[in-house]
Amino acid sequence: MKNTYSRIVVFLMTCIVMLSAGTIYAQQLTIDQRVDSVLKLMTLDEKIGQLNQYSGFEEATGPVTEEADKPEQLRKGMIGSMLNVTGAVKTRQAQEMALQSRLKIPLLFGQDVIHGYRTIFPIPLAEAASWDLEAIELSARVAATEASAAGVHWTFAPMVDISRDPRWGRVMEGAGEDPYLGSLVAAARVKGFQGNCLGNTDALMACGKHFAAYGAAVGGRDYNSVDMSLQQLHNVYLKPYKAAVDAGVATMMTSFNDINGIPATAHKYILRKVLRDKWNFQGFVLSDWGSVGEMINHGYSAGEADAAKAALLAGCDMDMESRCYIKNMKSLVLSGAISEDVIDESVRLILRKKFEMGLFDDPFRFCNEEREKQQWDNRAHRDIARNMARKSIVLLKNDKELLPLKENVKTIAMIGPLVKAVGENNGFWSYSWPDDSVRIVTQWQGILNRAGNQANLLYAKGCGITEPDSSGFKEAVEIAMKADVVIMSVGESANMSGEAKSRSNIQLPGVQEELIKAVYATGKPLVIIINAGRPLVFNWTADHAHAILYTWWLGTEAGNAIADVVFGDYNPSGKLPMSFPRSEGQIPVYYSYFNTGRPPKDENDLNYVSAYIDMPNSPRFPFGYGLSYTSFSISEPVLNTTNITAGEELIIKVTVSNTGNADGTETIQLYFRDKVGSLVRPVKQLAGFQQVFLRKGESRTLTFTLTEKDLRFYNENLEFVSEPGEFDVFVGNSPDNLKGKGFVLD
């Protein structure tokens, strides 16, 4: 009897949930009504469960502090989301457990799909070097297509943190130093991941991270404090997050750092006032891994309950892995320290996304093994990755047009620790799959594929990446002596950049530069390929090597993409998204600096000026820099007027000509300078760019537009204003190669 009774109760409960949350009335009810109808049925415990995210049953991407009986908690509805549950089968299994809970609220599965899932694309910093927004969006689209087929609903990307410090290992994950470029890349990535519409089975929810200013960690040391003026925060660092929000990003992740003494995870000003109130962000906010509990270490919270309270009240809706919410939130509500309305507000935002993703209608719609298999080795995706990879390569030097290699090259010596490396090509934040050793095109394989019929290839490793052993130099020199040209592949290992991978010394590791010197001494033409997740310092190599390609980490198709560029099937077009310092002592070095009261007249001026006595202020290679196999001339800019008022347009025209011997793409960049401001303004600010493909001998006139809105900045009172007065506008192909004209904003 009791059994029958409880069955009836379960049946009725299920009907209520289905009626209110499920498909029956789905067409008639708005999502908000459906959310409310579920919320009404939830106990306080179930609500708190929705705010709780655990890492899955496999590899953790952070320090696990405490084990939990996750299956049991799933069945009790104590978990709203999981990360690191990989593949259609495993997501299905975990979802089945969640659906055994009383209200059968489906889980959201999140994952760090940062630069590809199955097909690995270049690291995000490399992609930013393409300055090709369509290609970047497509890369994210492919990643979303592959990951969503494996049951993933949500990627913890894009990372949109501006960083001007290459010691910070996570520069590899962002778009570099500039807020304008960074904002456009952020929007492109959000659109790519989220596709046409959340709820499509090939769309991932995106997550703008790490909010905020994580990239400005003092000393470039990961997780370190950030101390900056609110003006600098708004004028530089917040811009790409805002762009992600404007592009419709579904979620945001808080950062580990404190900002001016308040941990970002409990920072009411940035989370409530800026993100919710000013930017009208409609999605939900997730903490970073353990960042709620870490507020105790910060010395901001007295204990877990205190941390949970501070984070939730500040607007951090979901707790990733610290367990502070699940363990403390109930007593906080029962004691009156937190009102249940605050919990409801966060639960609503999370449920809303679950509805938008269609999970209440079909919790298994993303875990589809058939679809997953189809994405397993997708030729079209590999072609897209190869194209993205070659666009990401930056040609830093090309003396006497050594590159592209000519037909008469009959013997090529390939030397260095990364020539035959396999997994390294994927870079940090990528998945390694069991069959990667056959899927990833190594640099050796790529060159062999392209040149195997025309040239003889020799190989010597020479040395390891970090090891001090130089016993392989002799063999390297011997094969170099036999070759017409030497290609050396050097750099970091993939896990020398990424999370918790800050370096104080960013030179080529180990004895690699010594190896380059030994090979250079043979007098053979020398091409250097530099693989790294950050700008490195390599002055000797930059001075002596004949050609240098900066290839970052290019992913699955690395070898083919490098071969495309080495042999001229693709004319390199990448431009640096970060300035490359001459030494660590110059950091931070960036193009958009303030002039100071004592700017040096030139690089030799040391007369009581703001300069180093032992090296120039300028970087080794500036932001925006990158060579081509052809040359371009860019005319003086021609303006339609010398004065504009608000509402009027300044139209800037320049003619670009391909004056060299190859067809190629150039990125024409537009900068401006606000000459006098109520706050000092940078010497240059990027405000536009266009990529133009020109056949040799071809010219084209490009038109840029600036309006008063482009000239605005956050002033002392944090008002977003422009100020009348004199400006300069500059056009060229890097901040140190520009032609300018003045104009006035009336």
The residues annotated as belonging to the active site are 288
Pairs from 468-472 (Cβ < 8 Å, separation ≥ 24) = 468/510, 468/511, 469/511, 470/511, 470/514, 470/515, 472/515
Nearest to 713 by CA among 270, 191, 251, 180: 180
Structural contact between residues 159 and 182, judged by C-beta atoms closer than 8 angstroms = no
Q: Work out how close the CB of 349 gets to ligand NOJ at its nearest, in angstroms, rounded to a whole number.
A: 19
To ligand NOJ, the closest distance from the beta carbon of 499 in angstroms equals 5
| Among positions 289, 431, 520, 570, the unique one binding ligand NOJ when judged by CB under 6 A | 289
Q: Counting contacts by CB under 6 A, is residue 501 touching ligand NOJ?
A: no
Rounded least distance, CB 1 to ligand NOJ, Å: 50
Q: Which residues contact 582 (CB under 8 A, 6 or more apart)?
A: 537, 539, 615, 616, 618, 619, 620
Binding mask 246-285 for ligand NOJ (x = CB under 6 A): ----------------------------------------
Taking the complex as a whole, the smallest distance from the CB of residue 61 to ligand NOJ amounts, in Å, to 3
Spatial contact of 491 and 506, defined as CB atoms under 8 Å apart: no
Nearer Cβ to ligand NOJ, position 64 or 680? 64
What are the C-alpha distances in Å from 453 to residues 412, 442, 448? Answer: 12, 18, 8
* Choice from 90, 104, 118, 209 touching ligand NOJ (CB under 6 A): 209
Are the C-beta atoms of residues 653 and 720 closer than 8 Å to each other? no
Q: Smaller CB distance to ligand NOJ: residue 156 or 284?
A: 156
Q: Binding to ligand NOJ (CB under 6 A): which residues in 65-84?
A: 83
Does residue 499 touch ligand NOJ according to CB under 6 A?
A: yes
* Closest by CA position to 354, among listed 437, 272, 495, 250: 250
Residue 512 has which token pair? 């690699």
User: Would you say 209 or 391 has its CB closer to ligand NOJ?
Assistant: 209
User: Shortest distance, CB of residue 339 to ligand NOJ, whole angstroms?
Assistant: 30
Long-range contacts of 456-459 (CB under 8 A, 24+ apart): 456/410, 456/411, 456/412, 457/411, 457/412, 457/414, 458/411, 458/412, 458/413, 458/414, 458/482, 458/483, 459/413, 459/414, 459/415, 459/419, 459/420
Task: Please choose, from the candidates 389, 376, 457, the residue with its C-alpha nearest in 3D space to the C-alpha of residue 425.
Answer: 389
Q: Based on CB atoms, which residue is closest to ligand NOJ, 117 or 289?
A: 289
CA angle, corner 578, sides to 185 and 516, nearest 5? 130
For residue 504, give both structure tokens: 């104080």
Among 288, 319, 356, 564, binds ligand NOJ (CB under 6 A): 288
Build a one-symbol-per-residue string for 515-554: x at contacts with ligand NOJ by CB under 6 A, - elsewhere.
----------------------------------------
Please calculate the CA angle 429-435-436 and round it to the nearest 5 degrees: 40
CB 532 within 8 A of CB 490: no
Question: What is the closest distance, in whole angstroms, from the C-beta atom of residue 244 to ligand NOJ in the complex?
Answer: 14
> Are the CB atoms for 672 and 709 separated by under 8 Å?
no
Per rule CB under 6 A, count of chain residues that contact ligand NOJ: 9
Nearer to ligand NOJ, 112 or 319 (CB): 112
Residue 495 touches ligand NOJ, criterion: CB under 6 A? no
Half-sphere exposure of 539 (CA within 13 A, CB side): 7
**In this structure, are residues 221 and 254 in contact, taking their beta carbons and an 8 Å threshold?**
no
CB nearer to ligand NOJ: pick between 61 and 456: 61
Whose CA is closest to 164, among 537, 538, 581?
581
Q: How many CB atoms lie within 10 A of CB 536?
A: 25
User: Count of CB atoms within 10 A of residue 84's CB?
Assistant: 19
Q: Which is nearer to ligand NOJ, 258 or 288 (CB)?
A: 288
Residue 137 as a binder of ligand NOJ (CB under 6 A): the answer is: no
Closest chain position to ligand NOJ (CB): 61
CB of 172 to ligand NOJ, least distance (A): 12
Under the binding rule (CB under 6 A), the answer on residue 62 touching ligand NOJ is yes
CB 599 within 8 A of CB 616: no
> Which CB atom, from 176 or from 735, has the smaller least distance to ligand NOJ?
176
Write phi, then psi, for 329 (nearest 5 degrees): -65, -35
By C-beta, is 288 or 666 nearer to ligand NOJ? 288
Min separation Cβ 210 and ligand NOJ, Å? 6
Question: Between residues 287 and 573, which has the closer beta carbon with respect to ligand NOJ?
Answer: 287
Q: Are 118 and 344 in contact (CB under 8 A)?
A: no
Under DSSP, the state recorded for 582 is S
Q: Which is nearer to ligand NOJ, 111 or 387 (CB)?
A: 111
Q: Which residues pair with 614 in a beta bridge?
A: none
Q: Is 156 in the site for ligand NOJ (CB under 6 A)?
A: yes
For residue 423, the minimal CB distance to ligand NOJ (Å) is 19
Q: State in angstroms the smallest separation of the CB of 127 from ligand NOJ.
A: 17
CA-nearest of 143, 568, 668 to 388 is 143
Closer of 208 and 664 to ligand NOJ (Cβ): 208
| Subset of 96-125 contacting ligand NOJ (CB under 6 A) | 112
Q: Measured between alpha carbons, how far is residue 360 from residues 108, 289, 351, 356, 357 in Å?
A: 11, 27, 9, 9, 8
The 10-39 contact track toward ligand NOJ, x by CB under 6 A, reads: ------------------------------
In this chain, which of 14, 37, 61, 631 binds ligand NOJ, going by CB under 6 A?
61
Instruction: Report, in Å, the least distance between residue 662 CB and ligand NOJ.
Output: 40
Q: Name the minimum Å distance from CB 112 to ligand NOJ.
A: 5
| C-beta separation of 440 from 426 below 8 A | yes
Task: Please classify residue 65 by burial: count the beta carbons closer than 10 Å to its beta carbon, then call 0-12 exposed, 13-18 middle and 19+ buried.
Answer: exposed
Residues 599 and 187: their CA atoms lie apart, in Å, by 36
User: According to the binding rule CB under 6 A, does residue 319 interact with ligand NOJ?
Assistant: no
**What is the closest distance, in whole angstroms, from the C-beta atom of residue 253 to ligand NOJ in the complex?**
6
Q: Which is nearer to ligand NOJ, 289 or 672 (CB)?
A: 289
> Hey, which bits of 353-495 come out as E strands?
394-398, 411-415, 456-460, 485-491
The beta-strand segments (E) located in 248-352 are: 251-254, 258-259, 262-263, 284-286, 319-320
Reduced to 3 states, what is the DSSP secondary structure of residue 738? strand
Mind spelling out the 3-state secondary structure of 650-718?
EEEEEEEEECCCCCEEEEEEEEEEECCCCCCCCCCEEEEEEEEEECCCCEEEEEEEEEHHHHCEECCCC
User: Kindly report the CA angle at 221 between 216 and 224, in degrees rounded to 5?
Assistant: 65
Residues that bind ligand NOJ (CB under 6 A): 61-62, 83, 112, 156, 209, 288-289, 499
